[in-house]
């Protein structure tokens, strides 16, 4: 018996398979799709079995050393899907397979067995046990154990010492039964199932099951989209099929997962990167063995080995989190579309602020559009006020405007909850010297450092570089350092000072590093143990707290000023999502947006809750400037530690592209990338605009191959980047 093994070897051109002998002791265990360890040259490396055969023409073959993980194997669908992933993200096949395989199974962790068991004691034969109890009076403990078993009690091994258990095992009176124990068990918190509104019922009925159509549910915040997904999934399960439900962020899974547990009980598995290795293994196992029907998870959950998929849902489909920013740079949507076709299952995209590309596809009837334009239970959309901070500065209100202050006090009196949103963590943004003009910058990145007061240091938010905050300027040694800009930490200090009676909690990357901290904060909010919740975009999406009636956006300009053609779209969706946190139940919500650009078009669309006009306005710009959805984009980054090498290779890449691409492809650059220097690596960028991926595919492959062997320069090819 022989196996073709795709090997994991650094150089991409080796992305091919080699034949190995299957040794006798592995013959019954080895399956296609398994991860194995094989000798390669003088090394020992990982690989995937892509075929098993009885004959081969090659001789001088080596043997497979071992199976990395005997429990799991990629099934045929996933082996095929890997090839697709390779195509759309320009990665190697082995990278694709590794992405789909549960990460706890890396070759290094091979020694630990991730399975947990409960071990129970069972009777071999009742009559024999009865006889034993009658005749054997000298061992009361053993008798007690047998008697309990005879009365059909459930007994775990750990209840008795081995001195009691061993002799009974030896005499074949009892045996051990192992039952797999999973780390995560659904804690059913009974949330009752509401009767769907007419709009929701209509939405559900529009979706044709057993057909690979894509639907876009454009539903305003609080319009009951999640209930629609759950009803559809219920129907799918009833027909014997399974479902994948993607959410953009781990912080969102808590609330949604609870709703899913309460509706679907132990049919649910969860899958995201914040699970421990053991939990991940367990959840993967449940899915692999077909013990669950619904998987709720983040981006990577799109690869789960669920069989017989009947529906795929991507909630908050506009989220950039669905795109992986490092190799393989895939978008979960592309994979979802492929699996929807594989299984003949509908794909549902849901959002209050769809990606412009998605909405455009719905206008062209590539996607079927379903609209939910009313909030559940007549809750109205919140009233939005825009406050001009230039005016407030004159009144010395640097952080919280008069309007916002008044509202906060009012809500505190009424015991309602308040959310304050600021998309920048840390204390202050820039520390400079008033005397000599020195600014703290990261020595590895072209980025100013952010001051964190709690730890009294300055941090680079890109590479993590940290220096202690000193009193004197490192350059001129004067005590004249001063700081600008506002982060969540400083906002927290300001809020605590201004509203000493309020209970305040901060939710951002710095307060949620510990496992379980998201859940803790969310529970505190739900139990109304806090009055003011402040944080970064982490608090912007999907969370549903009925007591939140006021949302304050401290500084809307941060996102408006991002140099990206999507900044308008991002700002709208971010602010609309944040606003959507207010007034989700009976009490109407209010939103105050603070800005220095109070007549900005995008902000006014936000104020009117007007997605359609934002769409029209942005589409016009996109058409004029040849941006998506009118053109596709690919970004090629040419990176190196050596500035000169990067620069000259960027020109070589440009020249190659000019020669090889047809003149329908627009080539821009090379320019320095938006983040020019990160971690001591210089980055140049070339952008391609085109109507058809086939125009550029072969050239990209060639470039990729050439540069994967280059010693000093690397290429990062990002197809359909979310940011340029």
Residues in the site for ligand ADP, rule: CB under 6 A? Answer: 194-197, 200, 219, 221-227, 376, 544
197: partner contacted, choices Zn ion, ligand ADP, none (Cβ within 5-8 A by kind): ligand ADP
Shortest Cβ 226–ligand ADP spacing (Å): 3
- Backbone torsion region of residue 583, taken as left when φ is above 0, otherwise alpha when ψ lies between -120 and 50, otherwise beta: left
User: 221 or 423, CB closer to ligand ADP?
Assistant: 221
Whichever of 66 and 457 has its CB closer to Zn ion, that residue is 457
Beta carbons of 252 and 507 less than 8 angstroms apart: no
Q: Choose between 328 and 485: whose C-beta lies nearer to Zn ion.
A: 485
Measured CA to CA in angstroms, residue 710 lies from 8, 95, 636, 638, 704 at distances of 19, 19, 16, 11, 10
Nearer Cβ to ligand ADP, position 120 or 572? 572
* Nearest in space to 714 (alpha carbons), one of 689, 687, 682: 682
Lookup result for tokens 């549910």:
217
In the complex, least distance from residue 225 CB atom to ligand ADP, rounded to whole angstroms:
3
For residue 444, the partner it binds in Zn ion, ligand ADP, none, with Cβ less than 5 to 8 A by kind, is Zn ion
Are 388 and 597 contacting, i.e. CB atoms less than 8 angstroms apart? Answer: no
With contacts defined by CB under 5 A, name the span among 319-327, 443-451, 563-571, 630-638 that binds Zn ion: 443-451
Q: Which does 108 bind (CB under 5 to 8 A by kind): Zn ion, ligand ADP, none?
A: none
Please, what is the minimum distance in Å from the beta carbon of residue 224 to ligand ADP? 3
Handedness of CA 297, 302, 304, 307 (dihedral sign): positive
Q: How many helices (H) and strands (E) does the chain have?
A: 21, 30
Residue number, 196 or 668, with CB nearest to ligand ADP? 196
> Which DSSP string do the residues of 328-395 spell out, in sequence order?
S--BHHHHHHHHHHHHT--EEEEESS--HHHHHHHHTTSSEEEEE-S-GGGPPPPEEEEEEHHHHHHT
Tell me how far, at minimum, the Cβ of 577 lies from ligand ADP, in Å.
Answer: 10
Q: Does 445 bind Zn ion (CB under 5 A)?
A: yes
DSSP state string for 63-105: BP-EES-SS----HHHHHHHHHHHHHHT--HHHHHHHHS-GGG
**Nearest distance from residue 378's CB to ligand ADP, in Å?**
11
Residue from 1, 463, 530, 666 touching Zn ion (CB under 5 A): that is: 463
Measured in degrees and rounded to the nearest 5, phi and psi for residue 346 equal -70, 150
Are the C-beta atoms of residues 417 and 411 closer than 8 Å to each other?
yes
196 binding partner (options ligand ADP, Zn ion, none; Cβ < 5 to 8 Å by kind) = ligand ADP
Nearer to ligand ADP, 405 or 544 (CB): 544
The smaller minimum CB distance to Zn ion, of residues 419 and 445, is found at 445
User: Which lies closer to Zn ion via its Cβ, residue 18 or residue 465?
Assistant: 465
Q: How far is the CB of 316 from ligand ADP (least distance, A)?
A: 9
| Strands 17-21, 2-7: pairing kind | antiparallel
> 434 — phi, psi (to 5°)?
-70, -25
Residue 463 interacting entry, from ligand ADP, Zn ion, none, C-beta within 5 to 8 Å by type: Zn ion
Least distance in Å: CB of 195 to Zn ion? 54
227 is in the binding site of which of ligand ADP, Zn ion, none (Cβ under 5 to 8 A by kind)? ligand ADP
Are 178 and 156 a contacting pair, CB within 8 Å? no
224 contact choice in Zn ion, ligand ADP, none (CB below 5 to 8 Å, kind-dependent): ligand ADP
Cα–Cα dist 69/194, whole Å? 44
Residues recorded for the chain:
724
Q: Are 529 and 503 in contact (CB under 8 A)?
A: yes
Q: Residues 565, 451: contact at Cβ < 8 Å?
A: no
Size of the site for Zn ion (CB under 5 A): 7
CB of 173 to ligand ADP, least distance (A): 54
460 binds Zn ion per the rule CB under 5 A: yes
Segment lying near Zn ion (by CB under 5 A), choices 463-471, 509-517, 582-590, 601-609 = 463-471
Smallest separation, CB 680 to Zn ion (Å): 9
Q: State the nearest-atom distance from the C-beta of 230 to ligand ADP, in Å.
A: 8
| One residue of 409, 441, 444, 520 binding Zn ion per CB under 5 A | 444
Give which of Zn ion, ligand ADP, none residue 442 binds (C-beta under 5 to 8 Å, depending on kind).
Zn ion
Q: How far apart are CA 457 and CA 462, in angstroms?
A: 15
- Closest CB to ligand ADP among 197 and 722? 197
- Under the criterion CB under 5 A, does residue 465 sit at the interface with Zn ion? yes
Q: By CB under 5 A, is residue 442 in contact with Zn ion?
A: yes
Sheet of strand 294-297, all strands in order from the earlier edge strand to the far edge: 268-271, 294-297, 242-246, 309-315, 347-351, 214-219, 368-372
Instruction: Return the one option of ligand ADP, Zn ion, none that residue 602 interacts with (CB less than 5 to 8 A, by type).
Output: none
| Residue 675 binds Zn ion (CB under 5 A) | no
């Amino acid at each position: 018996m022989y196996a073709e093994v795709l090997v994991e070897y650094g150089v991409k051109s080796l992305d091919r398979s080699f034949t190995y002998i299957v040794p006798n002791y592995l013959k019954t265990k080895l399956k296609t799709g398994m991860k194995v360890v094989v000798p390669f040259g003088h090394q020992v490396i990982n690989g995937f079995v892509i075929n098993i055969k009885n004959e081969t023409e090659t001789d001088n073959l080596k043997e497979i050393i071992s199976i990395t993980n005997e429990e799991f194997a990629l099934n045929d669908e996933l082996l095929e899907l890997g090839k697709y992933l390779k195509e759309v993200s320009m990665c190697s096949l082995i990278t694709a397979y590794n992405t789909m395989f549960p990460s706890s199974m890396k070759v290094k962790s091979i020694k630990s067995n991730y399975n947990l068991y409960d071990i129970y004691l069972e009777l071999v034969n009742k009559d024999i046990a009865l006889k034993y109890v009658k005749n054997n009076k000298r061992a009361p403990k053993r008798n007690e154990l047998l008697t309990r078993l005879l009365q059909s009690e459930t007994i775990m091994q750990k209840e008795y010492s081995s001195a009691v258990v061993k002799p009974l095992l030896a005499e074949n009176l009892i045996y051990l039964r192992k039952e797999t124990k999973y780390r995560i068990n659904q804690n059913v918190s009974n949330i009752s199932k509401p009767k769907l509104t007419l709009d929701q019922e209509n939405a559900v009925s529009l979706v044709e099951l057993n057909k690979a159509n894509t639907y876009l549910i454009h539903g305003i915040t609080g319009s009951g989209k999640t209930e629609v997904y759950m009803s559809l999934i219920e129907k799918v399960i009833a027909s014997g099929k399974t479902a994948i439900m993607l959410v953009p962020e781990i912080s969102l899974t808590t609330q949604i997962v609870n709703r899913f547990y309460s509706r679907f009980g132990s049919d649910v598995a969860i899958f995201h990167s914040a699970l421990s290795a053991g939990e991940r293994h367990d959840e993967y196992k449940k899915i692999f063995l077909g013990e669950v029907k619904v998987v709720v998870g983040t981006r990577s959950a799109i690869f789960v080995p669920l069989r017989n998929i009947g529906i795929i849902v991507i909630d908050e489909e506009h989220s950039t989190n669905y795109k992986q920013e490092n190799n393989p740079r895939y978008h979960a949507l592309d994979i979802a579309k492929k699996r929807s076709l594989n299984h003949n299952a509908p794909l549902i995209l849901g959002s209050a602020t769809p990606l412009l590309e998605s909405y455009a596809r719905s206008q062209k009837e590539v996607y079927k559009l379903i609209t939910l334009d009313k909030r559940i239970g007549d809750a109205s959309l919140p009233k939005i006020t825009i406050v001009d901070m230039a005016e407030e500065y004159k009144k010395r209100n640097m952080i919280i405007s008069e309007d916002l202050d008044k509202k906060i006090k009012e809500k505190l009196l009424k015991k309602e909850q308040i959310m304050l949103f600021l998309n920048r963590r840390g204390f202050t943004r820039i520390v400079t010297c008033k005397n000599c003009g020195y600014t703290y910058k990261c020595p590895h990145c072209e980025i100013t450092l952010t001051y964190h007061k709690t730890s009294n240091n300055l941090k680079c938010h890109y590479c993590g570089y940290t220096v202690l905050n000193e009193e004197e300027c490192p350059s001129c040694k004067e005590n004249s350092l001063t700081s600008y800009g506002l982060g969540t930490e400083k906002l927290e200090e300001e809020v605590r000072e201004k509203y000493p009676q309020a209970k305040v909690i901060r939710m951002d990357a710095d307060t949620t590093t510990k496992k379980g901290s998201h859940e803790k904060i969310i529970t505190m909010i739900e139990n109304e143990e806090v009055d003011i919740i402040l944080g970064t975009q982490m608090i912007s999406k999907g969370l549903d707290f009925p007591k939140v009636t006021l949302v304050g956006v401290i500084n809307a300009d941060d996102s408006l000023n991002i140099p990206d053609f999507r900044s308008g779209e991002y700002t709208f969706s971010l602010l609309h999502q944040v606003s959507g946190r207010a007034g989700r139940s009976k009490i109407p919500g209010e939103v105050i947006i603070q800005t220095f650009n109070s007549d900005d078009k995008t902000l006014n669309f936000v104020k009117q809750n007007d997605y359609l006009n934002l769409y029209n306005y942005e589409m016009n710009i996109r058409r004029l400037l040849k941006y998506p959805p009118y053109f596709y984009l690919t970004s090629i980054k040419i990176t190196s530690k050596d500035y000169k090498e990067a620069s000259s290779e960027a020109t070589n890449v440009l020249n190659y592209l000019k020669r090889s691409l047809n003149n329908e492809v627009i080539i821009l650059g090379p320019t320095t990338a938006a983040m020019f220097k990160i971690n001591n690596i210089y980055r140049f960028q070339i952008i391609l605009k085109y109507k058809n991926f086939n125009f550029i595919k072969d050239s990209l492959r060639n470039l990729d191959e050439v540069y994967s062997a280059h010693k000093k320069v690397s290429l990062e090819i990002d197809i359909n980047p979310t940011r340029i």
